[in-house]
A and B are shown apart, each in its own frame.
Chain A
């Protein structure tokens, strides 16, 4: 089984240059993950669902260690779902260099997959870089007018922060080696690295740099609107739905468990950054006239909830974060698709040139309405569950930040309704004769609608799957954590803690 995991990742790298093949490859991956999900549906609480571990460069303690738990399972489902949709929607948009385009898409996706599966920090960094370069090509070759600038900006931001993380990884490797005698990049072993608090803070900052830039958190966000608005639709989709999530995943998987004390002391700053992201993103979203830039800033707004939740350190908030990772991937992705489809039809992204489109394209209007409502957090759609869980979790640890973030809900309403008004309502500003969604586009968007509603009404599917991983992260954090400094709900997961402790000792 674990060999299959490897096979699909390596298999994809050499994949042939055609739409059908990439579609088929992603579809097979999707089926495999679904299969894993159902096969392991019952015993979700063991450490890893599947694991594959072999020596790679044993001299430096580098292993090819891949493993999957509930959290990565969910993220993989999202990855391949979005991947399939990305291929579907670029069917017609991309006419030049199609083979290389699909090569890049698959390469990015395998990088992301690797990031979600790696349990070896060296390997993790390797995949982190793998997803970067093809994205650079994707923006630089198939993007819009200002693509070269945007792709450079994207590359420099992520590369620079990635290098900081690499330094931190090496630092962690050396510290662990010095203190325990075993030099290894293995995640499980590095988890229990003993280190001084100054060192912990320093190393954590290296990781944070990479993850916060990727998310992005406010002072580091400025690559995002350019990259998003210049990228082709599939690029924006993958960027928003998946690549940003690697940052969130990194926070959950690495920053919190490896550096629990540093993370705890960073928490007030982190939460403040989250709130700033929520409000600042909303404010900038409101003032944009470029549809894609607007949606890009809504991402900044939504990612603020993730940062906020991560630093609240409780199960409720973490469930919200996981939910937010998934639903934001779908809802914002869908808005990018709609922006892309409008661009295909009207050749503009300027909101002032749109208006009154409902009359011609009611199906797209209806779907747009659903995702606009999702982005403002309407109950019944997945985003509400995410925001509710995150905020009520945050409320437990900091009432002030929760209230400030709730103000972001009103701001979210204002910018979201503006999309609806400018694009679909009002007078018609142009004489475009437009076709409504084709069958291919309807399948892509329709399946996203189904998922977002399903998650709003039956969120338990996600919550149950993510629960063991979240518990594990929180437990590891609890073990090396001074309980006097902070109030966290112990009773809730006391029983699970004991179970996990015994496991960790083995």
Chain B
């Protein structure tokens, strides 16, 4: 059974190679079959493997399948080796399953694009790299996948390469995440030098033995790894690339920039949980970063005009919740929210993508409206996705996952009321911006006539994702609602259980508060953006709103702090001043050469004069000395 693990990433990789090498000769249908078929096949294998895995309870909680020695030099050794345990299983499932739906959707979405084959090649490569990332059994292989998804993200953001703005967005994404990656690779060096290996399992076993909690090396390496996670997951202060990344096609935004790649940071922290537990200060920092990010991004989402940018900021904000959960030690709650978020955010992006496509590439929500009647399927699924995002109580999956995080951010041993307050404020803003988006897009008067109704290839993935966004939450219920804890039970041996603080307030109080907040947000959105109250109109014009709109001006700050100095640096000394030194030597030589040539003018009188002068000078010197 274990040998099938390798097939999960290998199949999409193979399909990538075929499409990339022979794409010119394969008809579109063939490309579509290859592209979608490969991901479907690996999702089927994942499901079969997963069922086997859960039913067989392997020793040590993992199946390992090693292929060959990748590098073995000077005491360092890394294998190409995959490790399937419950954590990677959940990630694999989400990647392949959501990936399949998004690939299916893309067939219709991209059908008129000239880069059809290129698109599927990149998407397959992405799925494969992402699977390598989550299945990797050592950190170097993980880094391999990590950079691979970064590459695909770069390629797909800049997919429509003719527009220089897309290229700029793509480069921004790559460079900003690469800054995080560099911090991460230094972290890997540090771990390697400390433990002599990068195998995740042995690092995790050795770390608590060698390092006591709060040891400086543990803290430093946790910070360095966190740097990588912040870059990839677009958290403060490396969040600026994600809103611009929306330049890519919508299925890309759904798969890479919502469901999977941006949660790689969450995966990394959960995977290395032992290390982070050894550095409590860093863990608190994670919680604070998460809380700050979710608020900042939430406010920004509230003021955007572009439908996809709202969703982008919302993604940053939701990953902020996951970081908050990781920071308070609610490991399994973070992973649970990751999964549910993958469902509803992919759904929202796909829905938004269809709307934009059908409205002739119109991104501005204020120019949309009244689509409720015209596009009923998209409307209903989008509404479900939106409800799940704003955690509408009891019926949506988002409620169960987010409520768990909110409750634990208060009651966990590492939680605090400030974290909870940030979370609950964020929840309020979430439902406000979500329903602002829904009211603006689907209600009111019809402004642009959609081209046609979406086809089946588009609607079926939407419907499947919508139903998962509703029922997905029932596998993990709060204690007071039912005894179902399938999700955390699956993760129990792998991720440490949470320690609650002593003075626990009953959970139901928090549930009621979050329910009220969620519904209240929707109601306020109704007043502000459906009824169009005077306040919302005037606020929309205020300077504060513009500040939020520009993402709290982080871009401008970085522009002043980093981009301009670098550009300045490259402007000066373009010609390389060191070269000038050598040119000077050459010029000086030439100059003396010229001087000396002048003395040889062939005039006898001149030579005699100089000769005599020389003798006199020499004699004088000799006399004086």
Collect the chain A residues with CB atoms within 8 Å of residue B188's CB: 392
B479 interface residue (CB < 8 Å to A) = no
Q: Is B73 a contact of A315 with CB atoms below 8 Å? A: yes
Query: Which residue on chain B has the smallest CB distance to residue A389?
Result: B73
Is there an interface contact between B192 and A222, defined as CB atoms closer than 8 Å?
no
Chain B hits for A28, CB < 8 A: none
Chain B residues within 8 Å of A407, by CB = 182
What distance in Å separates the Cβ of A146 from its nearest Cβ neighbour in chain B? 13
B579 touching A403, Cβ below 8 Å: no
B112 CB-CB contact with A under 8 Å: no
- Chain A residues near B574 (CB, 8 Å)? 284, 287-288
The stretch from A64-72, A133-141, A341-349, A378-386 touching chain B is A378-386
Least distance between A353 CB and chain B CB atoms (Å): 15
A109 to B231, CA, bound (A): 46
CA A153 to CA B585, docked complex, whole Å: 12
Q: How large is the interface on A (under 10, 10 to 19, 20 to 34, 35 or more residues)?
A: 35 or more
Could you say which residues of chain A place their CB within 8 Å of the CB of B569?
A: 283
CB-CB under 8 A from A161, the residues of chain B are: none
CB atoms of B178 and A413 under 8 A apart: yes
Contact of A410 among B167, B179, B571 (CB under 8 A): B179
**Selected interface stretch from A78-86, A87-95, A420-428:** A420-428
The answer to whether the Cβ of A12 comes within 8 Å of any Cβ in the partner chain is no
Contacts of B473 in A (CB 8 A): none
- B161 within 8 Å of A (CB atoms): yes
> Contact: A409 with B148, CB < 8 Å?
no
Q: Are B164 and A425 in contact (CB under 8 A)?
A: yes
Which residues does chain B contribute within 8 Å of A286, judged by CB atoms?
A: 566, 570
Q: Does B143 contact A (CB under 8 A)?
A: yes
Flag the segment in B64-72, B91-99, B392-400, B536-544 that touches A. B64-72
Kindly supply a per-residue 1/0 record for chain A positions 196-223, scoring 1 wherever the CB is within 8 Å of any chain B CB and 0 otherwise: 0000000000000000000000110110
A410 CA to B186 CA, complexed, in Å: 12
* Chain A: minimal CB distance from B353 (Å): 23
CB of A356 within 8 A of chain B? Answer: yes
B76 touches A316 (CB 8 A): yes
Q: Provide the residues of chain A in CB contact with B164, threshold 8 Å.
A: 421, 425-427
- Answer yes or no: A460 CB below 8 A from chain B CBs: yes
Decide if A358 touches B161 in the complex (CB within 8 Å): yes
**CB < 8 Å: which of B20, B162, B193, B582 contacts A395?**
B193
The answer to whether A391 has its CB under 8 Å from any CB of chain B is yes
Q: Is the CB of B161 within 8 A of A424?
A: yes
Question: Is residue B105 within 8 Å, beta carbon to beta carbon, of the partner chain?
Answer: no
Contact status A379-B147, CB under 8 Å:
yes
Does any Cβ of B come within 8 Å of A9's Cβ?
A: no
Say whether A373 faces chain B, with CB atoms less than 8 Å apart.
yes
- On whether A222 and B579 interact (CB within 8 A), knowing A395-B193, A424-B161, A427-B162, the answer reads yes
Q: Mark B142-160, 1 if CB is under 8 A from A, else 0.
A: 0110011001001100100
Interface string of B72-109 (1 = CB under 8 A from A): 11111000000000000000000000000000000000
Cβ contacts B130-145/A at 8 Å (1 or 0 each): 0000000000100110
Q: Is the CB of A315 within 8 A of B75?
A: yes
Contacts of A333 in B (CB 8 A): none
Q: Is A61 an interface residue (CB 8 A)?
A: no
A residues 343-366 touching B (CB-CB < 8 Å): 356, 358-359, 366
Q: Is the CB of B186 within 8 A of A402?
A: yes
Give A407's nearest chain B residue, CB to CB.
B182
**Least CB distance, B13 to chain A, in whole angstroms:** 11
Assess the A378–B151 pair: CB atoms within 8 A.
Answer: yes
Do A426 and B161 have beta carbons less than 8 Å apart?
A: yes
Contact check, A222 vs B74: say whether CB atoms are below 8 A apart: no
Separation in Å of the A494 CB from the closest CB of chain B? Answer: 12
* Contact (A417, B71) CB under 8 Å given A358-B161, A424-B161: no
Q: Which among B147, B163, B186, B579 is the interface contact of A406 at CB below 8 angstroms?
A: B186
CA distance A385 to B147 in the complex (A): 13
Assess whether B305 is interfacial by the CB under 8 Å rule: no
In angstroms, Cα B162 to Cα A463, docked, is 42
Given A379-B143, A388-B140, A417-B175, decide whether A315 and B74 contact each other with a Cβ distance below 8 A.
Answer: yes
For residue B233, give the distance in angstroms from its CB to the closest CB of chain A: 18
Majority secondary structure, B binding face: helix
Say yes or no for A241: interface residue by CB 8 A criterion: no
Q: What's the least CB distance linking A408 to chain B, in Å?
A: 9
Scan B162-183; emit 1 where CB is below 8 A from any A CB, else 0.
1110011001001100110110
Residues of chain B lying within 8 A (CB to CB) of residue A378: 147-148, 151
Cβ-based interface call for B578 (8 A) = yes
Q: Please give, as numbers and ranges, the residues of chain A lying within 8 Å of B361 by CB-CB distance.
A: none
B171 to A, closest residue via Cβ: A417
Cβ contacts under 8 Å, B75 to chain A = 315-316, 489, 492
Q: Which residues of B contact A421 (CB under 8 A)?
A: 164, 167-168, 171
Shortest Cβ distance from A151 into chain B, in angstroms? 14
Interface hub of A153, A379, A414, A425 (most chain B Cβ within 10 A): A379
B185 close to A (CB within 8 Å): yes
Bits for B576-589, please: 1 = Cβ < 8 Å to A, else 0. 10110010000000
Chain A residues lying within 8 Å of B570, measured Cβ to Cβ, are 283, 286-287
- Asked if residues B76 and A389 are in contact (CB atoms below 8 Å), the reply is yes
**Residue pair A413, B185 in contact (C-beta under 8 Å):** no
Smallest CB–CB gap between A389 and chain B, Å? 6
B508 within 8 A of A: no
Residues of A within 8 A of B178 (CB): 409-410, 413
Judge if B189 is at the interface, Cβ distance under 8 Å.
yes
With a CB–CB cut-off of 8 A, which chain B residues contact A380? Answer: 144, 147-148
> Which residues of chain B have C-beta atoms less than 8 A from A384's C-beta?
147
**Does A111 lie at the interface of the complex (its beta carbon under 8 Å from any beta carbon of B)?**
no
| A393 contacts partner chain B, Cβ-Cβ < 8 Å | yes
Which chain A residue shows the least CB distance to B576? A284
Within 8 A of A (CB), among B526-575: 566, 569-571, 573-574
* A502 and B571 alpha carbons, distance in the complex (Å): 58
**A2 to B113 alpha-carbon distance, docked (Å):** 60
Contact B144 A379 (CB under 8 A): yes
A225 at the interface (CB under 8 A from B): yes
Q: Give, as a whole number of angstroms, the nearest-CB distance from A443 to chain B.
A: 15
A393 touches B182 (CB 8 A): no
Q: Which of chain B's residues have a CB closer than 8 A to the CB of A403?
A: 186
Q: B189, A402: Cβ atoms under 8 Å? A: yes
Closest chain B residue to A223, Cβ basis? B582
**Bound-complex Cα distance A284 to B174 (A):** 21
A306 to B174 Cα, complex, angstroms:
26
CA distance A459 to B158 in the complex (A): 31
CB distance from B597 to the nearest CB of A (A): 20
Is there a chain B Cβ closer than 8 Å to A314's Cβ? yes
Residues of A within 8 A of B68 (CB): 458
Cα A314 to Cα B76 with chains together (Å)? 12
Q: Which residues of B contact A318 (CB under 8 A)?
A: 74
Give the interface centre of B154, B167, B571 by most chain A CB atoms within 10 Å: B167
Residue of B nearest to A366 (CB): B20
Known: A409-B185, A425-B161. A314 touches B74 (CB 8 A): yes
Does A13 sit at the interface, judged by CB under 8 A? no
Instruction: State A389–B185 Cα separation when bound (angstroms).
Output: 12
Which residues in A have their C-beta under 8 angstroms from that of B69?
460
Q: How far is the CA of A458 from the CA of B144 in the complex (A)?
A: 14
Give the distance to chain B from A413, nearest Cβ to Cβ, in Å. Answer: 5
B interface list, Cβ under 8 A from A:
20, 68-76, 140, 143-144, 147-148, 151, 154-155, 158, 161-164, 167-168, 171, 174-175, 178-179, 181-182, 185-186, 188-190, 192-193, 566, 569-571, 573-574, 576, 578-579, 582
Which 4 A-B residue pairings sit nearest by Cβ, starting from the closest? A315-B74, A316-B74, A287-B570, A379-B144
Interface pairs (19), CB distance under 8 Å: A218-B578, A222-B576, A222-B579, A287-B570, A315-B74, A316-B73, A317-B74, A319-B73, A319-B74, A358-B161, A366-B20, A378-B148, A379-B144, A392-B76, A395-B186, A395-B192, A407-B182, A409-B185, A421-B171
| Additional pairs, 15, CB under 8 Å, beyond known A392-B76, A396-B193, A414-B566 | A153-B582, A225-B576, A287-B570, A287-B574, A316-B76, A356-B162, A379-B147, A385-B71, A392-B188, A417-B174, A426-B162, A426-B164, A460-B69, A463-B72, A489-B74
